[in-house]
């Protein structure tokens, strides 16, 4: 059984479409792995290692789905979106607690939410249900982020709003792709491949939401380490890719 979540994958667009939608997931796989390794090296809390690795799992699941277009692989794509977002929610709402504390009540709520969503989705097999549940989690993250950059750390507006803006742009392009799918497919048959690649909006959805999610983890980690009196800095790997460099708190003699 196959339940497709976007018009682009419902039709055989040839190798370019499949490869574009598959390879675009690399942005959700490789950078988060590097982020998880850096987090371990910096001795930071395991919740942020989990955040990076959860994003990697989403990328791997999406890679498998777009390579196979099988229902089981679609679940591997979509359900980890819910699980990873629950981890993001936990990190954001536990930003201002003592180091290494665990909020078991919030964990219970998020695990229960994940189990309910998983059970219902496996039963009803309705993509809109998944999208609404995912949207609720994203909405919670948006509200929390706005609170932080408005009332707590206003100087983080650049990072916070950039991650949000990039993610929402990807979401917008994904909806455009769903609505105008056949028109875009027709257009791609009439233009050179190097032009058509820019209209592979589902691939751009992967890239932009992957980047937006990665930047959100940086924003969450920056917020947390500031509260714990570390000295975080945004650095660019090879002058291109943003990372967080965290220096330990200054020792007062």
Q: Taking the CA atoms of 148, 93, 81 and 140 in sequence, report the sign of the dihedral they define.
A: negative
CA–CA distance, 1 with 124 (Å, rounded to integer): 13
Alpha helical stretches, state H, the chain: 7-10, 15-23, 30-41, 46-68, 71-93, 104-124, 127-147, 157-179, 181-188, 193-196, 201-227
Three-state DSSP class for 231?
strand
Integer Cα distance of 57 and 165 in angstroms: 23
- For residue 252, say whether it is annotated as part of any ligand binding site: no
206 annotated as a binding-site residue? yes
Tell me how crowded residue 22 is: count the other CB atoms within 10 A of its CB.
18
202 is in an annotated binding site: yes
Binding-site annotation, residues: 66, 202, 206
Binding-site annotation, residues for Zn(2+): 66, 202, 206
């Amino acid at each position: 059984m196959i339940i497709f979540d976007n018009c682009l994958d419902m039709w055989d667009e040839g190798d370019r479409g499949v490869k574009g939608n598959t390879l675009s997931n690399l942005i959700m796989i490789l950078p988060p792995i590097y982020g998880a390794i850096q987090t371990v090296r910096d001795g930071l809390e395991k919740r942020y290692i989990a955040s990076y690795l959860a994003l990697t799992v989403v990328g791997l699941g999406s890679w498998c789905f777009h390579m196979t277009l099988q229902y089981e692989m679609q679940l591997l794509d979509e359900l980890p979106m819910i699980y990873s977002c629950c981890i993001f929610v936990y990190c954001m709402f536990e930003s201002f607690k003592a180091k290494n504390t665990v909020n078991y009540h919030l964990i219970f709520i998020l695990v229960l939410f994940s189990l309910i969503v998983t059970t219902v989705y496996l039963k009803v097999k309705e993509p809109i249900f998944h999208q609404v549940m995912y949207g609720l989690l994203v909405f919670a993250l948006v509200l929390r982020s706005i609170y932080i950059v408005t009332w707590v750390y206003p100087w983080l507006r650049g990072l916070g709003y950039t991650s949000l803006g990039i993610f929402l742009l990807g979401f917008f392009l994904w909806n455009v792709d769903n609505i105008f799918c056949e028109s875009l497919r027709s257009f791609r048959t009439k233009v050179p491949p190097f032009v058509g690649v820019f209209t592979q909006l589902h691939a751009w959805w992967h890239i932009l939401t992957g980047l937006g999610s990665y930047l959100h983890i940086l924003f969450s980690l920056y917020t947390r380490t500031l509260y714990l009196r570390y000295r975080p800095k945004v650095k660019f790997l090879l002058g291109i890719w943003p990372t967080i460099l965290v220096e330990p708190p200054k020792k007062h003699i």
